[in-house]
Amino acid sequence: MGMRYVPLESCLRVARGSAKIVRQQNGVLGEIGIDEAGHDHDDLGRARGLLIEGAASNLLRYSTAFSNAIWEKDAGVSVSASGLAAPDGSAGATQLDVPGGASGLYQRVDNLVAGETHSFAIWARAVSGTVDVTLGGINGASAHAVALDENWQRVGFGEVASGTTRYPKINTSVSGMAASILIWNAQLETGPVSTSDMISNGVPATRAIDDVRLDPGDWFQAGPGTLVFDLELPPAWDGIWRIVQLYSTSLNDDHLDLGYDSAADQLRVSLRKGGVPIVTQSLYGALPPATRRKIAIAWDDDAVAVAQNGVVLKSPGGFAMPRNFTHIGIGSYAGESGALNGHLRGVSYWPAQLSDDRLTALTEM
């Protein structure tokens, strides 16, 4: 990841009030400390970028201890220590044997908000060969078929909770066949997509939001500018999430804000000067989930342009752009809400508003 004039790492600032689990360069999950940047990788160790996530809680208890009594087992279901390596490299993988059909492993969870979307995820693989399992239990006795092989996968689904008490469950109700699989760390959280692993014991586990900032040192100049972001988007989202915010003293004062309105399915730009809204506009630039996108924002004294996938979208002119931006926030609203829940792969800066042709070329995928 790099930035024009100065390497990104030299001006990147991450604040997070908790530890976090990401995949390391060796392809194994590992915990990083408070305020440590969450550079994530795939299972082959290839860099995915900086993982920026919102605050979350794993509502399941004893999320890796499936022998605990809180995990209920239907007749014919058994769990046992496998001694095999889990996704975090420990010997903590559990073997789950189910007899086939609706009999399975589940946990009762109370105090959900009925009508809100929740996401369930669990690491799983076949003991040998291939096997089909079923996940469900958030919206009634829902059934989501999952095919497993001998490689670890984090499988799951998101759906609306049909009641305040629900029972996330693993069985083989779709195939009806007996199965033996390995499992590790089950997670239930509020929201349309599962975020990074949170391991719980007797109480739900929590993770703080990633508050990511760029320190605007000598590389950043007052006046016109362009920022280009290389993003790996999450598979689902809700609400308004942020890409970047430039502001002076506070977001209630002078600011330029680029985000995405999930309900309208549009990019959204907001400009405020002297505490007064100047521009609040949806730019009709839909983003497809679970894709990689390059998104640019370019500004001058009386213009704002946003580009994505080779298309340039513009706000109306006729205003005076503030020249006192001293803070740059990335991927959330002031480190409090509206998190990207995806990966920042790179960011570049130019001390000028680039032409439409240049913005088109920089954002084409």
Q: Is the pLDDT of residue 112 over 70?
A: yes
DSSP class of residue 8 equals: G
pLDDT band of residue 98 (cuts 50, 70, 90) is: very high
pLDDT score, position 6: 43
42, 50 in Cβ contact below 8 A? no
- Domain shared by 195 and 220, yes or no: no
DSSP-assigned letters across all residues of 313-348: EE----S---S---EEEESSBTTTB----EEEEEEE
- Domain shared by 44 and 22, yes or no: yes
State pLDDT tens for residues 298-344: 999 888 999 999 999 988 877 878 888 999 999 999 999 999 999 99
* Angstrom distance (rounded) from CA 162 to CA 144: 16
pLDDT score, position 1: 42
With respect to residue 3, please indicate whether it lies within any of the assigned structural domains.
no
In percent, the amount of the chain with pLDDT more than 90 equals: 82
pLDDT score, position 3: 43
pLDDT score, position 356: 96
Q: Determine the average pLDDT of the residues in 150-157.
A: 97
State pLDDT tens for residues 181-232: 999 999 999 999 999 999 999 999 999 999 999 988 888 888 899 999 999 9
Q: Is the pLDDT of residue 245 over 50?
A: yes
- Domain shared by 114 and 246, yes or no: no
pLDDT score, position 321: 87
State pLDDT tens for residues 25-84: 999 999 999 999 999 999 999 999 999 999 999 999 999 999 999 999 999 999 999 999
pLDDT band of residue 294 (cuts 50, 70, 90) is: very high
Q: Is the pLDDT of residue 357 over 90?
A: yes
78, 357 in Cβ contact below 8 A? no
Q: Label residue 277 exposed, middle or buried (CB < 10 Å: 0-12, 13-18, 19+).
A: exposed
Residue whose token pair is 């995820």: 121
- Domain shared by 101 and 200, yes or no: yes
pLDDT score, position 5: 39
Q: What are the two backbone dihedrals, phi and then psi, of residue 119, each rounded to the nearest 5 degrees?
A: -120, 135
For residue 359, the SS3 value is helix
- Domain shared by 214 and 359, yes or no: yes
Burial 287-320 (b: 16+ CB within 10 A, else e): beeeeebbbbbbbeeebbbbbbbeebbebeeeee
- Indicate which CATH number applies to the domain containing 144: 2.60.120.260
pLDDT score, position 251: 85
State how many domains the chain has.
Answer: 2
* Angstrom distance (rounded) from CA 201 to CA 203: 6
- Domain shared by 298 and 170, yes or no: no
Mean residue pLDDT across the chain: 93
- Domain shared by 300 and 216, yes or no: yes
- Domain shared by 63 and 175, yes or no: yes
How far apart, in Å, are the Cα atoms of 299 and each of 15, 225, 256, 325, 363?
28, 6, 9, 12, 16
3-state DSSP percent of the chain in helix, strand and coil, to 5: 5, 45, 50
Q: Label residue 184 exposed, middle or buried (CB < 10 Å: 0-12, 13-18, 19+).
A: buried
Tell which of 207, 225, 257 closes a domain.
207
- Domain shared by 199 and 227, yes or no: no
Range of the domain at 289: 8-53+209-363
pLDDT score, position 317: 79
pLDDT band of residue 289 (cuts 50, 70, 90) is: very high
How far apart, in Å, are the Cα atoms of 73 and each of 13, 145, 146, 171, 326?
46, 20, 20, 10, 56
DSSP-assigned letters across all residues of 279-299: EEEE------TT-EEEEEEEE
pLDDT score, position 219: 86
Q: Determine the average pLDDT of the residues in 90-104.
A: 97
pLDDT score, position 8: 61
pLDDT score, position 147: 98
CB atoms within 10 A of CB 159: 18
* Angstrom distance (rounded) from CA 78 to CA 94: 10
pLDDT score, position 303: 87
pLDDT score, position 2: 41
- Domain shared by 214 and 357, yes or no: yes
pLDDT score, position 216: 86
